[in-house]
Amino acid sequence: MLNWLKQNAEQARSKLTAEASKFKNRAFMEAVVNGCALVAAADGNIDASEKQKMAGFLERADELKHFEMRQVIEVFQKAASDFEFDHAIGKASALKVIGKIKGNEEQSKLLVRVVCAIGAADGDFDADEKAMVSEIARELGLNPADFDL
C-alpha cells in the first residue's frame, strides 16, 4: 500500500513538472509564487517559519526548477512583504497577480494543482489553506469542486 501511494505521488509530481515546464513565462511564475504566498498566509499572516518552509519548498520544487531561483525568491519576498504591511492588501495584490493568467485554462488549472500540492506539502492541508485555494480557483474562473476542495 505504501509503495503504491509513493509511486502515485511521484507520478503526479512528475506530471506537474512536465506540465509546468511548458509555461516558462514570468506571468505564470509570478502567479504560482503569489499562490504560494496566499496559501502560506491563509492563517492571517506569514511568520518566519512559514517563510522558511515556503522558501525551502520553492527552492526544491520541481514545478519551478526551470525559473531562476533568485527571481522566484524576489517575487515571494515582495508578496510576503505585502502581507506584512496589511493582510488585505497582500491578499488583493496576490490575487491580482494570479488573475493575470485567468483565461488561460491550462495554466489556471495547473496553478491550482500546484498550490494544492504546496498546501499539502507539510502533510496537513488544513481548512484555511483549502479555503484559500478555493478562492484562488474561483478567481481564475474555475470550480473548486473540480479539485476536491
**Model confidence band, residue 67 (pLDDT cutoffs 50, 70, 90):** confident
Mean pLDDT over residues 21-35, rounded? 79
**Model confidence band, residue 131 (pLDDT cutoffs 50, 70, 90):** very high
**Model confidence band, residue 41 (pLDDT cutoffs 50, 70, 90):** confident
Distance between CA atoms of residues 90 and 129, nearest Å: 16
- Is 8 or 112 the better-scoring residue by pLDDT? 112
Which pLDDT score is estimated for 96?
A: 97
Report the percentage of the chain scoring pLDDT > 90: 35
Look at residue 25 and tell me whether its pLDDT is greater than 70: yes
* Weakest mean pLDDT among 26-35, 51-60, 80-89, 90-99: 51-60
Answer yes or no: are the C-beta atoms of 98 and 34 closer than 8 Å. yes
Residue with cell 506571468: 27
- CA distances, 41 to each of 25, 48, 88, 102, 113 (Å): 25, 11, 11, 22, 18
Neighbours of 66 (CB within 10 A): 13
- Mean of pLDDT over the chain: 82
Distance between CA atoms of residues 33 and 29, nearest Å: 6
**Model confidence band, residue 69 (pLDDT cutoffs 50, 70, 90):** confident
CA 4 to chain centre: 26
Mean pLDDT over residues 68-83, rounded? 88
